[in-house]
Amino acid sequence: MDFPFLIVFLIPIVAVWAGFAFVWLAKPTNTSNIKLLLAFSGAFLLALTFFELLPEVYEGHDPKTIALYILAGILLQVFLEFFSKGAEHGHMHFNLEETKFPLFLFLSLCIHALVEGVPIHGNDPILYGIIIHKIPVAIILSIFLVNSKMELVWALLFMAMFSLMTPLGSYLATQSEWVANYGHLLTSLAIGVFLHISTIILFESSQAHAFNLRKLLVIILGIGIAYLI
């Protein structure tokens, strides 16, 4: 199913605000179900990366160059996490007493979201993967913002700007001639980001590396659905 570009642009925004609205209205205290959703999203996104993006990006291009950009994407995400403290995969290690706008967290999350928007247009399964990834991340980010001492207007500005970054990446991928010419390289960069994020989510999905049947079943479900769509 091919979505109109306006829908592709709007769905990531709606996903972020849905996560914020859920936290604002429900004020969740038990995060175990959110961690299950994170595990599902990590497995789903990882499987889609292998099923959809990797075969496409290697087709007709120099394998070593593609591999180099994938590794660069992994390193980019490692670098961003020095500032985001792992918020992209469900960790928040910031001081809740902080009243200042978390600029470095904001910038790192925006760069991450911008890159992940590049491969969405024309690839609806990846859109599904990004949305399922965004919802639990938006929920965890919203829990931090709502429970912090930051003024509400700054929290809303944070979420508004963050919600626009993925659609902006998709827009640039279709409207910018430069991005269009080097789209396979930027997609390779995004693949590296996806590989790092999804594998970290899966590695961290069990506390103390203990066996958890529910999370194992959720991971298998995520891979299975990615295979079928």
Q: Residues near 20 by Cβ (< 8 Å), separated by ≥ 6?
A: 138, 142, 145, 159
CA atoms within 13 Å, Cβ hemisphere of 93: 9
pLDDT at 173: 81
Q: Which residues of 95-114 are buried (b: 16+ CB within 10 A; e: fewer)?
A: eeeeeeebeebbebbbbbbb
Per-residue CA distances from 86 to 33, 127, 190 (Å): 19, 22, 17
Q: Give 66's pLDDT tier (boundaries 50, 70, 90).
A: very high
Average pLDDT over residues 51-67: 90
Q: Give 1's pLDDT tier (boundaries 50, 70, 90).
A: very low
For residue range 22-31, what is the model confidence (pLDDT) as tens digits?
999 988 876 6
pLDDT at 48: 92
pLDDT at 98: 58
CA distance 221 to 215: 10
Q: When comparing pLDDT for 107 and 180, which is higher? A: 107
For residue range 150-190, what is the model confidence (pLDDT) as tens digits?
888 988 999 999 999 999 988 888 777 776 677 788 899 99
Q: Is the pLDDT of residue 211 over 60?
A: no
pLDDT at 5: 63
For residue range 78-98, what is the model confidence (pLDDT) as tens digits?
998 888 777 766 665 555 555
CA distance 112 to 78: 11
